[in-house]
């Protein structure tokens, strides 16, 4: 089997077993945040930070949800890391953002924070703080044993189907599920550009017929 076949076979397998009920729960939580004029804070490091930046744009524009990510302001988050330490940077940013029970944090991480292994403690501290102020916690992770999966109100754990691609497949499905959510008919308030463009062209063609 080629590498390409192996990877895409894994993608197909994961697509079949992703927990649909959890996805729908995420939609309900996000709807509740929007109805209360709350905010969604997307948190991630590395690939998760890149997904967080992307998600902020999509959820603001397409789903009409006020959204932010700490990693989008390099000056601010590096000051937090320098002054407070890596593990407290997201937590302190959330404190300064006045995170409250109307809001939600959305974690994009492979491990989801592991205090015992001291991996992604920046995520762990943020999740524990969010729970302490009764904010909603949702996430897409690759480990069921991490802090996010343990404490979240709704969390997709991407199944580990191949030990060689834990990180790659988790981050791949973070992108898939984020786009699934933002285009969900219960959440989407504005079409994305190309879909809108196609719909406009179809209407124009019908008018000419």
Domain chopping of the chain, boundaries: 3-208
- Structure token digits, residue 84: 């407070």
DSSP annotation of 70: G
Fold classified for 3-208: Rossmann fold (3.40.50)
> Could you tell me what percent of the chain has a pLDDT over 90?
88
- Give the global pTM: 0.93
In degrees and rounded to multiples of 5, residue 84 shows phi and psi of: -110, -15
pLDDT band at 195 (very low <50, low <70, confident <90, very high): confident
pLDDT value at position 117? 86
In degrees and rounded to multiples of 5, residue 157 shows phi and psi of: -105, 110
pLDDT value at position 115? 87
pLDDT value at position 196? 79
pLDDT value at position 191? 87
What is the crossing angle of helices 89-96 and 121-132, to 10°? 30
Which helix H or strand E contains 199, and what residues bound it? Answer: helix 193-208
Q: Give CA–CA dist 126/195, Å, rounded.
A: 36
């Amino acid at each position: 089997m080629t590498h390409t076949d192996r990877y895409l076979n894994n993608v197909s397998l994961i697509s079949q077993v992703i927990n649909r009920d959890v996805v729908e729960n995420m939609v309900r939580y996000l709807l509740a945040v929007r109805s209360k004029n709350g905010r969604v804070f997307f948190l991630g490091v590395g690939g998760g930070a890149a997904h967080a930046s992307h998600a902020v744009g999509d959820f603001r524009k397409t789903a009409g949800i006020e959204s932010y990510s700490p990693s989008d302001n390099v000056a601010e988050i590096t000051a937090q890391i320098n002054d407070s330490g890596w593990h407290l940077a997201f937590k302190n940013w959330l404190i300064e953002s006045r995170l409250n029970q109307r809001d939600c944090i959305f974690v994009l991480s492979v491990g989801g924070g592991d205090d015992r292994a001291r991996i992604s403690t920046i995520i762990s501290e943020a999740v524990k703080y969010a729970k302490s102020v009764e904010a909603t916690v949702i996430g897409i992770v690759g480990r069921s044993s991490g802090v996010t999966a343990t404490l979240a109100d709704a969390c997709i754990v991407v199944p580990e189907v191949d030990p060689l691609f834990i990180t790659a497949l988790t981050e791949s499905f973070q992108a898939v599920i984020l786009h699934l959510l933002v285009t969900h008919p219960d959440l989407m308030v504005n079409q994305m550009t190309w879909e809108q463009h196609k719909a406009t062209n179809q209407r124009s063609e019908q008018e000419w017929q």
